[in-house]
Structure formats: C-alpha cells, structure tokens
Homo-oligomer: A and B are copies of this chain.
C-alpha cells in the first residue's frame, strides 16, 4: 500500500502506540506528530515515536497533501473543529480514532455533502487505564477489534484502504454505521464505566462499610469488587468527552439499567416472599448473554 508519510495529530497512548505499530510494520514510513505540550514533544522524540514533532501553535496552516495518511488522535470535540478545515481535493486518507462516531460522521457528511472524500472514522477497541505517549506500546492494536464507520460520500477505495491498513497493523475490523456504533458502545463500554464508578461511590457513602474498611490494613474485598472497580474513576477527561458526545444513547442505556435493577431490587422488598425462581431466570439469562457478548462459547 502507498504509505510513505503519516501525520498523527495528537499523540497520547493511542497515537503513540500507532506510531510504534507503524515503526514495526512499515519501518520506512516517516511519521510527523502534532502535540499540545513541550513535554509531549520531548517524550515523543526521546522514544522515537515520530521523525518530526510540531506543537499545535507551529502547525496552524498545514499542507495536508504532504501526507498519505492523517490520523486524528485527539478528543472528539477537537476533531469536530478540524473537520471543516480539511481539503476537498487530493488523495490523503483522513482517519480518526474517536470513541464515538455520530457527531464526527455527521460533521463529515455535513462538510463534504455529495462530494466524494477520503475520510473514514475508526474506533480501535483497546482502552487502557494508561494515558500519554510515555505509555505507548507497539502491540496495543494487535488482535483487537477496530470498528470502521464510513460517512456518506466516502470513496469505497478509502474504506478499503483503511481496512487493509488496520489489518496490516494486526487488528480485526468490522463495519458499523455511526448510530449503531454509539448505541452499541453505550451498552458495552460507556455504561460499564459509569456503573463501576457509581459502585465505588455507593460503597464509599456507606458509613458502616467505610468504618470497617478503615479498620484493617488489608482490603476487605474479594476478586468481584476488585474487577468491578478497576475502571472506576479512570481518565475523567476522556470519559467526560465521550459522555458528552454520546449523551442520548448513554442516557437510554442507563435508564434501561435503572429499570432492570429496580425490578431486581423489588424482588427483595421487605416482607415480600422471596422469588427464587425469578432470580434464577435472571442469572441463567445473564450467562447466555455473557457467552454471546464475550464469545466464550
């Protein structure tokens, strides 16, 4: 594939890991990075994540046509600001790594209208608690799923190019339209992060629990709480941005959760008969759903 010069616009964990993947799979590629801080610039150069690094302030009127591939690896909000400044001609492939798709794809479709373009939105599913280019690893994308979302008027060739690119990096790919992506991710990713965070805050607000927790130097929790709280409170900037972009689907997803949890709570109502059969059915259903979603059967 035609890949000589790549621009990675925003280089944190994801952009930095993509740089390392490129170094491994396409060793001749020249990588340019654009970052906000001098500190990132130093990290990137010392880890050889890019051949040249610009601060945002040094990159105000870029000639995008210098690059075969431009990857936006910044929060969605800033991607939305860049989209209306992109060229309407040339062969550069534009791609983002945004965690939500609907607002990006709408912006791309609004900007390009019926004109054929080369902007493909992608979402590599490889979250991590780590942040920043210093945490970049070359295998972040290997054997992970990358969701491809093609806005209207994107050329088929660019979709195909992006698919081949991610598969060369070592990812699996699947296509999803932007609305399905955001609804699915609300349930499979955004809701779990909310739930984990609320869980530790519920425990934290219970005075008996916290008195006992404080009474011993070892954790009182077993593996269940440990797993369920791992992602709690992580990376607020990223999650605030995701929640903002996916407000409507996440609202619905949380509402569904409250509805199901309220039904469960009511099975335990004081002075109500304990309906073991209903709980058993919920547990059996959960095992089935879990197997289907996690593909463990």
Contact = CB atoms under 8 A, between A and B. Distances in A.
Interface in A261-297: 261-262, 264-265, 268-270, 274, 276, 279-280, 282-290, 292-295
Contacts of A270: 247-248, 251
A167 to B, nearest CB: 13
A202 B276 contact: no
A238 to B, nearest CB: 10
B293 A200 contact: yes
A244 interface: yes
B225 A174 contact: no
A210 interface: yes
B224 A231 contact: yes
Interface in A161-213: 172, 174, 176, 179-180, 183-184, 187-189, 191-206, 208-213
Contacts of A294: 219, 221, 225-226, 229
A257 B125 contact: no
Contacts of A227: 227-228, 230-231
Interface string A222-266: 111111111111101001100110011011011111101110110
A236 B186 CA distance: 27
A191 B198 CA distance: 11
A220 B184 contact: yes
Contacts of A198: 257, 260-261, 264, 282, 286
* Number of copies of this kind of chain in the complex: 2
A265 B251 contact: yes
A216 interface: yes
Contacts of A229: 192, 290, 293-294
Given A184-B212, A187-B209, A202 B293 contact: no
What bracket does the count of chain A residues touching chain B fall in?
Answer: 35 or more
A131 interface: no
Contacts of A286: 196-198, 200-201, 204, 232-233
A289 B204 contact: yes
Nearest to A292: B213
Contact of A195 (B199, B211, B262, B295): B199
7 contacts: A192-B228, A195-B199, A195-B261, A217-B295, A227-B228, A229-B294, A234-B283
Which 10 pairs from chain A and chain B are nearest by CB? A204-B289, A233-B286, A233-B287, A236-B283, A192-B228, A254-B265, A251-B268, A197-B286, A187-B203, A200-B289
